[in-house]
Amino acid sequence: MNSCPFCTLPPERIVAEDGPCVAIRDLYPVSEGHTLIIPRRHVASFREMTPEEWAATQRLARTVAEALERDDPSVQAYNIGINDGRQAGQTIPHAHIHVIPRRTGDVRRPRGGVRGVIPGKADYPG
């Protein structure tokens, strides 16, 4: 798919790779170091990824996190997520996983994390 930006990545954008997957920095980062993990093979959904691709994404997430922490000691935590489908906010129809580094004080109330994608759902008892 020549029109897919993730299928035609220039080599200099790749910050890490593991077999069937690569990692690149997000062009519109939520925080400094925001990284995308992408299967090389064009698949629109995580549901189409092979077990080998899934395993590579998990290894790359760890590799990326270790490098971010080594290079920036202020990184203390992560949000890791997938927007799968237009209704979930996916804007590029090629499966990819977001690794978003978090730092103390980067938001006023981080409680609830990814639940915040739907307004009012991040705050819950427990």
118: in domain: no
How many domains does the chain fold into? 1
CA dist 85 and 92 (Å) reads 9
Residue 97: CATH number of its domain: 3.30.428.10
CA dist 59 and 21 (Å) reads 10
pLDDT at 75 over 60: yes
6: in domain: no
With cut-offs at 50, 70 and 90, classify the pLDDT of residue 126.
low
pLDDT at 41 over 90: yes
In which residue are the tokens 């990692």 written? 23
CA dist 9 and 5 (Å) reads 6
4: in domain: no
* Known active-site residue 34: no
92: in domain: yes
Give the predicted TM-score (pTM) of the model.
0.93
CA dist 113 and 124 (Å) reads 11
109: in domain: no
Q: Which of 34, 42, 94, 96 is labelled catalytic?
A: 96
